[in-house]
Amino acid sequence: MQLLYSQKYPSDAGLLDVTQPPYNADETGVIDATKAINDALAAYGGGIVYLPAGTYLVSNTIKWPDSWGYESLEGDGVGKTIIKLIDNCTGFTSSASGKPVVQSGKQGSADWFSVMIKDLSINTGSGNNGAIALQFKANNQGGLKNLKIESGDGAGQIGLDLEYFVQNGPLLVKNVEIDGFDYGIKCRDGQNSQTFEHITIKNQKKRGIINYSQVISIRDLTSFNSVPAIVDSTSDNGAITLIDAKLNGGNSNSTAIINNGGVMYLRNITSTGYGKLVQNKAGRKMDVTGNSIVEWTSHKKESVSDNNSSSMLNLEVKETPDAANDPLSDWQKVAAPSGGDDTKAIQDAIDAGKPTVYFPKGNYTMNGIVHIKGSVQRIIGFGGYLAVPIGAGFFVDDGTPSTVVIEQFNSNFSQGFFVTHASSRTLVVKNGINVAIKKNNGSGDLFIEDVVAFHDSPNQFEFNGGSVWARQLNAEHDGTHIINNGANLWILGLKTERKGVLIDTKNAGKTEVLGFFCYTTVLPPTDMSMFVCSESSFSAVGSETSYWGAGLSYLSFLSETNGGVTKTLPATNLPSGVGAGHAVSFIVSGNPAITKAESIKLSPNKFEIEPFGESTIDVVFSPTNTSNLSIKSWTSTNVDIVTVDKYGNIQGLDYGSAYVKAISEDGGFKDSCLVTVTDTPVNSIINGKTKNNLVVYPNPASDNINVIIPINWLSDTKISIFSIVGN
């Protein structure tokens, strides 16, 4: 886990220090600080409640006031600021009833905006079997960053509870480690999506991550567990995207990933110790043995053309650059709001020559264009309102720093582009509410993280050329939400609302969406597709929620135009989303570069099995990094002897031999395995394990029969003895 450390902000930045009067929270770990922290949260009503380095003992729940959010809890760094529950604390000791140590959220509302917890540790102490370390909720913009959540003795119900509140998300969880508890992370409710990046879970007792119906997108998960790392526990509706995961530990009787009914997309996964990598009870119902996955989908891969790629685009991924922590002497503040046009005051602050420019808490108006240039490398709004009418906004020009970061702004329902990227430098825009962004052609890299643009804005996101990486991007608009005009666009966690084309990819653009949640709150026209791809490349996985009634949702998920010919992908045969919506574990358009299969090999190429015995065969693809690892068909040359279903599950029926044949989906490559049905299989495969002969002697038998059973058979061996006439 990467540990990042915050710094103190200027005194006029909207910061409340809980150790200062009138709250006087004790940071030495001696005196109970519960009341002091709760009083600060209740009194502040927006901004940053700050816990300096130290240990803060608590005996009850730290809880946000029942308001509209817009308030953050921030420490001085993981391991430096610690919220610690008192050992054997009243109300937390019983495993029969859970109680949160920290709780942020409100039931029955999706308006819990701009809530953040960052840069601290939460420790549930010892003897607190009912402890839930953190129940968290945020909507549209907000989340968790740089946290360590741990149980003092490994006990407790949940580390991170994202299921308690309905309509939880969209939100971003990044750089978080969870150690102990029955469950590391719990997710629930089919809206509004949750995005995770750089997550470590370890030492859970029941499940690492469990999901009930939510749309979740995860990149860079590391698990150290003997229990399953990820479980989708829904009969349908859930959608999980997981890329770049290392699932360590396990045990031979456990499965690393279990999918009970939702759609699931997995890429670049490795595991150690587990008996099986994936158990899939949905879609194709195809399990995964072995210890690695290049790319795998729970359901059929969808495209509108046979010559489309059988793999996602797999675009290059870059980390979001962090802002430099300049000393406070290098911070320049914008003059207090004038009540009129503050454009000149903002430009003057940028032109002052300091690398960090900040807005004291307040409501500002920017009626003109402000150029970000010179030595400025960071602009912080601290959650204040900045009204930006049409024709106004920030323009990022060339300057000395190679990277510019714009963060923590609420643009007060802007009617234009909040930021226009017109520079060869790298631009990062993050933690913004109603922040519409345009990238000019030829400009430098663009990173977007935890940003929403609401439906009142006629413009949302427009990317012209170059490369864009987005994490937790929320676009809400009645028109086209995102325009990709010739750019490479990579998105981890996309949430949309209302109607309109979600992403229009054109002019040789490339778009990859790893987890989308489409909330169809306004019924789209019957001829409108969810995604449009014109002479370009596109791939996505995700789910739609629509409460309009049966059959009332997007009727087409994709409209593809290649070579002047347009085809559509109807939603009719796709898996169910929530309500009338649909879901998809893989949708692709265009012709991205992939690794094609060259051959397949069944392993082993022959074995013996008992009558009515069951087994599976491993398929080895060449090259090993083949993009599409799916088998198009399984067949048996004699179904009276051996049967095989479409998922490769084999059963012996009668004595004799038959060949089981497989044909790959990519390339149509074939291989076969000879299966012999016999009473005493030699080196048979039972439950994936090779076993030796059962030894019976003397032969021919006398009145006494001795049976020698290998020691590794004892747990699952059944012996039946019959007379010569079958009794």
For residue 456, the model assigns a pLDDT of 62
For residue 389, the model assigns a pLDDT of 86
pLDDT at 84 over 60: yes
Percent of the chain whose predicted confidence (pLDDT) is above 70:
90
Identify the DSSP state of 711.
G
Q: What is the pLDDT averaged over residues 456-473?
A: 88
Q: What is the pLDDT averaged over residues 7-31?
A: 90
Q: Which residue has better confidence, 727 or 51? A: 51
Give CA–CA dist 352/454, Å, rounded.
Answer: 33
Confidence of residue 105 (pLDDT cuts 50, 70, 90): confident
Residue 229: what are its φ and ψ, rounded to 5°? -75, -40
Give CA–CA dist 404/508, Å, rounded.
Answer: 28
pLDDT at 17 over 50: yes
For residue 595, the model assigns a pLDDT of 66
For residue 457, the model assigns a pLDDT of 60
Taking CA 378 as the corner, what is the angle to CA 373 and CA 381, rounded to the nearest 5 degrees?
A: 110
Q: What is the pLDDT averaged over residues 579-608?
A: 83
3-state secondary structure 50-112: ECCCEEEEECCCEECCCCCECEEEECCCCCCEEEEECCCCCCCCCCCCCEEEEEECCCCCCCC
Q: What is the pLDDT averaged over residues 149-155?
A: 97
Q: What is the pLDDT averaged over residues 137-153?
A: 96
pLDDT at 103 over 70: yes
Confidence of residue 172 (pLDDT cuts 50, 70, 90): very high
Identify the DSSP state of 311.
S
pLDDT at 171 over 60: yes
Residue 338 tokens, joined: 């004038």
For residue 6, the model assigns a pLDDT of 45
Give CA–CA dist 415/393, Å, rounded.
Answer: 10
Question: Cα-Cα-Cα-Cα dihedral of 92, 98, 101, 107, to 10°?
Answer: -150
pLDDT tens, position by position, 335-344: 999 999 999 9
For residue 713, the model assigns a pLDDT of 45
pLDDT tens, position by position, 653-664: 989 999 999 998
pTM: 0.83
For residue 118, the model assigns a pLDDT of 96
Q: Which residue has better confidence, 608 or 627? A: 608
Q: Which residues of 391-430 are buried (b: 16+ CB within 10 A; e: fewer)?
A: ebbbbbbebeeebbbbbbbbbbebbbbbbbbbbebbbbbb
pLDDT tens, position by position, 493-530: 999 998 899 999 999 999 999 999 999 999 999 999 99
pLDDT tens, position by position, 199-253: 999 999 999 999 999 999 999 999 999 999 999 987 767 899 999 999 999 999 9
pLDDT at 317 over 90: yes
Q: Are 468 and 439 in contact (CB under 8 A)?
A: yes
pLDDT at 85 over 90: yes
pLDDT at 179 over 90: yes
Strand bridging mode 139-150 / 113-123: parallel
Across all residues in the chain, what is the average pLDDT? 88
pLDDT at 700 over 60: no
Confidence of residue 483 (pLDDT cuts 50, 70, 90): very high
Q: Which residue has the tokens 């469990």?
A: 210
Give CA–CA dist 125/297, Å, rounded.
Answer: 40
pLDDT tens, position by position, 379-424: 999 988 899 888 899 999 999 999 999 999 988 755 668 899 999 9
pLDDT at 692 over 50: no
pLDDT at 607 over 50: yes
State whether the Cα torsion 335-337-340-342 is positive or negative: positive
